[in-house]
Every structure is written in C-alpha cells, then in structure tokens.
A and B are shown apart, each in its own frame.
Chain A
Amino acid sequence: MFKSLLIILHYEILTTLRQAYSWLTPVLFFIIVVCLFPLAIGPDSTLLNKMAPGIIWVAALLAVLISIGNLFKQDAHDGSLDSMLLSQHSLTLLVFCKILSHWITHCLPLILISPILGILLQLNNQQELTLIITLFLGTPVFILLGAIGSGLIVGIRAHGLLLPILIMPFYIPVLIFGTSSLIAVAQNQPLSAYYAIMGALLLLSLAFAPLFTAFALKIGVDQ
C-alpha cells in the first residue's frame, strides 16, 4: 500500500514540476506582494522591521490561498478523482499524498525564498531562522485546512473567491502565532511555547484535515 502511495506522490510532484506555471506562480506572487509593502509604506527600516512578520506571513497565506483551490481541479476534470473515490486504498491516505505533494511543490519554494525576503524587510538573523521554522510548521496547516475547502468546492465551476472567504478565518490562529513568534524573538523572549503551539496545530490538522477532506470530496462529487 505504501508503495502505491509513493508512486502517487512521485507522480504528483513530477507533473507539478513539469508545469513551471503551477509551482512558480505562488513564489513569484509571494515575492511581488512582499515587495509591494515597502513601496506602499515607505523605506523606513525600523517601520519595515516592525511590520515584516505580518507582511511575510500574510503574503505567504495569500500565496497558498491562490493555488489551493486547484488542488483537485485537474483530477476532477480528467476523471482520476472518480477512480480515487472508487479505489481500494483509503481516500484519506490518497488525499494526504496529494496534500503532501502540494506542500512540497508550492510551499517549500516559499520557505526557501523567505530569508531573502526577510533581508528586504530588514529582519535580523535570529528572526530569519525563526521565520523559516515557523513557516515550516505553519504552511502545512494552511494547505491542510485549504484542502478541506478545496474538496468542498470541487464540483462548483465558477467558484471565484469563495475558497479564500471560507477558509481564511481558520488561518487566523496560525497567522497570530507565526507573527508573534517573530516579534518575540526580536525581544529575546523564549520561543518554545510558540513552537509547541504551532506544532500542536500542525498535528491536529494532520490528524483531522485529510479525513475531513475525504469526506468533503465524497460530498462534493456526489452531484
């Protein structure tokens, strides 16, 4: 069973990487949004340093949101979603595979480019490290929760901005703790609590989101 899941993972990652558009655009969006803020609020370094956690996290959140709606779109179009639903493998595990491959192809580039963007926004070294770790802990939660919404809207054709509206309230805890950890590290406060809470949110989402996504897919496809 794990072999077939590995095959699916391999397939998903390869297909996404081959279409440069699908993995490149979230990163470029992330970079551009982050660069818009200094242009909007002025080049004052202290101000940018203060606002940097919020800017980077909101930009990462938006970059995830624009791509998560299409998680199941291709599969719904070419019929592989139906075969996923009918297959002998647990839909939850298949969904988890898709989520994992989506995170690897869409969020790892974000995490890798975030230190450079941190430099643009005048973050210091400690903050850079914390930024990478918290993005590492937080972006999977974004994708896991976004997958639930994506499963719900899989049958809807012209859904527009519905998915962001549905899912954004659920992103708020991750956003709060992610940005607060960056502020705390700038004030030399201990970070273990933040990592613990973000880790807890990650584990909670890992446990429940694939299950709910599978349930949502069954609801969404039964049209």
Chain B
Amino acid sequence: MFFKLGLDWLGKNFLSPKMFYANTTKLLPWLAILFMSFFCYGLIDGLFYAPADYQQGDGFRIIYVHVPSAFTGMAIYAVMAVCAVITLVWRIKIAAICMSCSASIGAWFTFLALVTGSIWGKSMWGTWWIWDARLTSVLILLFLYLGFIALQSVIDNQQTKERASALIAMVGVINLPIIHYSVIWWNTLHQGPTISQFAAPSIAPTMLYPLLAMIAAFLFFYGWMVLTRMRSQILLREMKTEWVKKIYE
C-alpha cells in the first residue's frame, strides 16, 4: 500500500515535464552542495590522512578515484536500463529524457575508470594495460555506452530515437551479466594463478570511509549533472507551452 502511495506521489509530482521542472528546482543546489562536501572530505582524507597501504605504499590512493568512477559508471548504466524499461513499457517521457542525458555522463565515468585503472596498473605492475576481468568488463561497458550514444545521434525522429535506444540499452543490460561472467571465465582460463588481481584484500576503516565518501560524491555529481541536463532538455522540448513561456516573461 505504501508502495502505491509512493508511486502516486511520484507520479503527481514528477511525471509531467512541468511538475518535474518545478519540483526539482530546489533540489539542484542541494545536490551540488552535497557533492562538494563529500568530494572535499573524500579528497582530503584520501590523499592526505588515510594511512599508506603496507603493500602498495601511497600508490593505492588512486583507488579513491578509480573505484568510485567504475562503480558510478555501472550504476548509471543500471539507471539507464531501468529508464529504458519504463520508456518501452509505459512510454513515460521523463524516463526517456533521463536515459538520454545519463548516457554521456556514464560514458565519461567509465572512461575515467579505464584511465585511472590504467595509471594504477602502470604504477603497480609496470604495464599501462592488463587484460584482467575487471578492466576488460569496464572496457566493454564503455563500448555499450558509445554504441548507445551513436545510435541516438543517427536517428532523427524523437520518438523512434527514444524507443530504439531504450531497446538497445535493455538488450545491453540483459547481456551484461553474460558478458561479465564470460570475461571472468576467460580471464581465469588464460592467466596463471601467480598473477594476482587488482582488488585490495580487506580494507581498514580508515581507508574505507574516504572511499565511501568519494562514491557518494560521484553519485551526487551524477545526480546534479543529470538533473541539470534533464531540466534543459525539458525546457527545449516544451518550449512552445505556456509554462515555459511564463518562465521567460
């Protein structure tokens, strides 16, 4: 019952572009403030106060940008997939707008994960790239993002664009576990047991808190960016309506 009440409240306040725009105006500065606070804390604590890892020395500090960007990249794809299903099944415009706006942000985070992972690999293992399961999976995720963005750019008709890219996002998320596990399997097949993975073993709390803070910061950044973009898109799409004209009286 609460679920239905919650959905009703969501629907009343966020479903139509006009209500969505009006109700997210106050939210935006908060997201920016939360992002900056978590980011500053995570940055300072991670760079200066967290104790150096006994195995990896200070080089492990890259984890504070690598793990959050990889996590956020995957989380954004999950959000896109949920929006894709909502777009295809219920044809809700807001979901389609969210999906399109999230794509480039997600691609940037995934790219960042690859670059920071590569730098980390160079500092730890002396090689700029290693075909381990996690980096390979993130690379494939980047391809999925880029394919989505490419498809969006080619189709002109707005409705077809939304539904076609929603379908490819949905097929992508269905395939993602299969791809991920086959890559893990491929990796264990071709690598000897002597080469260890990038994962840090168990992590001490003083090292963990900055990491959690950075993950939260990255997620708030995504929220801030995607909301701003969605609002711009709503204004663009609804530009002929009365309420948009009123904003620019």
Contact = CB atoms under 8 A, between A and B. Distances in A.
Complex: A in contact with B (CB within 8 Å): yes
Given A216-B167, A222-B160, A165 B146 contact: yes
Interface stretch (A17-25, A98-106, A168-176): A168-176
A172 B183 contact: yes
Nearest to B142: A169
B161 to A, nearest CB: 10
Contacts of A30: none
Contacts of A180: 186, 189
B113 interface: no
A203 B143 CA distance: 25
Interface in A38-89: none
Given A152-B164, A166-B168, A222-B159, A176 B183 contact: yes
A223 interface: yes
Given A166-B147, A219-B167, A156 B186 contact: no
Interface string A146-179: 0011001101100100100110111011001100
A173 B137 CA distance: 12
A29 interface: no
A23 B165 CA distance: 30
B22 interface: no
A168 B164 contact: no
A37 interface: no
Contact of A169 (B144, B157, B186): B144
Q: Is the interface of B mostly helix, strand, loop or mixed?
A: helix
Interface stretch (B31-39, B75-83, B115-123, B174-182): B174-182
Contact of A152 (B144, B168, B183, B185): B168
B204 interface: no
A201 B175 CA distance: 11
Contact of B143 (A169, A176, A177, A220): A169
A180 B185 CA distance: 10
B157 A166 contact: no
B223 interface: no
Contact of B140 (A172, A201, A223): A172
A96 interface: no
Interface string B84-125: 000010000000000000000000000000000000000000
Contacts of B147: 165-166, 169
Contacts of A212: 167, 171
B164 A216 contact: yes
Contacts of B164: 152, 216, 219-220
A47 B65 CA distance: 40
Contact of A176 (B88, B146, B155, B186): B186
B195 to A, nearest CB: 18
**Chain B interface size range:** 20 to 34
B1 interface: no
B175 A165 contact: no
A136 interface: no
A219 B143 contact: no
B157 A223 contact: yes
B171 A148 contact: yes
B27 interface: no
B90 to A, nearest CB: 15
Contact of B182 (A149, A162, A177, A215): A177
B30 to A, nearest CB: 36
B125 to A, nearest CB: 23
Contact of B179 (A148, A173, A183): A173
30 contacts: A148-B171, A149-B168, A152-B151, A152-B167, A152-B168, A155-B160, A156-B155, A162-B151, A162-B154, A165-B146, A166-B147, A168-B143, A169-B143, A169-B144, A169-B147, A169-B172, A170-B175, A170-B179, A172-B179, A172-B183, A173-B175, A173-B179, A173-B182, A176-B185, A177-B182, A201-B178, A215-B167, A219-B167, A222-B160, A223-B160
Given A148-B171, A173-B175, A176-B186, 8 more contacts: A165-B146, A173-B179, A176-B182, A176-B183, A212-B167, A215-B167, A216-B167, A219-B163
3 nearest A-B pairs in the assembled complex, by CB-CB distance: A173-B182, A166-B147, A219-B163
